[in-house]
Amino acid sequence: MSAIDTLFEQLKKSSRKAFMPFITAGDPDLDFTAEVIRRLDAAGSSMCEVGIPYSDPIADGPVIQASYTRSLDQKIKLAGILDTIGQVSPKVATPLVTMVSYSIVYRHGLEQYVADAKAAGAAGAIVPDLPVEEAGPLADICRKEDFSLIQLITPTTPKDRAKQIAAQTSGFIYYVSVTGITGARTELPPEIIDNVAWLREQTPLPICIGFGISRPEHIKMLSPVADGLIVGSAIVRLIAKTAEMSREEVLAEIDQYVAELLAAM
């Protein structure tokens, strides 16, 4: 079992849902990334997704794209990110998961990426641009290493294809709540509930919902049907305030925002 499997088993026993923030590694620098992970852990997050900056992201909206650009402008490299994960992972209870483009994994080498990420303390990887037709080799390596390979299912994914994706996924299913790109939204489509209910009949994996979740009312709406809720752009937007505010002020805002969301779960 991976650390993610263990996490969801524990959450299920205590009838709790996972709160899963996303941050971009290296925005504004890796020291601050490590500090944010520690604060999110202390605030009560269940898991933290660490985005590996990529110059051509597939589904990320303007907030996360801008954070990737800021990180890449600092010449942040994969080795430095894994080193940071390696430094912070032993100090937090929160499993860490990389959000990474398959092109980065492929260039690094499938087995090498899994080995290096696991050695750093990462529990799995979300690979949003990995087609199910090409997922077999990486899925096999991840299963052998108890390293979760998390893949995305969207509202427009055909049902047969959704079943194929679920079969190649481990850890949890990342269900995309809306069509389009990441980014905080004022409202979420009501059909999410029916779509997740259907998906739950197809797989024993936990189902976590992401994209667009930013408000306590979103948490209240989705908590009854989800095993976990992913919040990304809203937190990344707060981190961007380090350009105009002190880091301690930004961390305090993150603490307050996470507390408001957790109170709604």
Residues 255 and 83: their CA atoms lie apart, in Å, by 25
Among the options 5, 49, 116, 227, which is catalytic? 49
Among the options 5, 29, 41, 60, which is catalytic? 60
What is the C-alpha R_g of the chain?
17
The closest alpha carbon to 171, from 17, 33, 59, 3, belongs to: 3
Tell me if 251 sits within 8 A of 242, measured CB to CB.
no
Residues 200 and 184: their CA atoms lie apart, in Å, by 25
Residue indicated by tokens 């890449």: 72
The closest alpha carbon to 230, from 191, 265, 193, belongs to: 265
Q: Is residue 5 annotated as part of the catalytic site, yes or no?
A: no
Q: Is residue 249 annotated as part of the catalytic site, yes or no?
A: no
Amino acid at 121: G
The per-type count for the chain, helices as H runs and strands as E runs, is: 12, 9
Residue indicated by tokens 């969301």: 261
Residue indicated by tokens 């937090």: 92
Residues 154 and 179: their CA atoms lie apart, in Å, by 7
Residues designated as active site: 49, 60
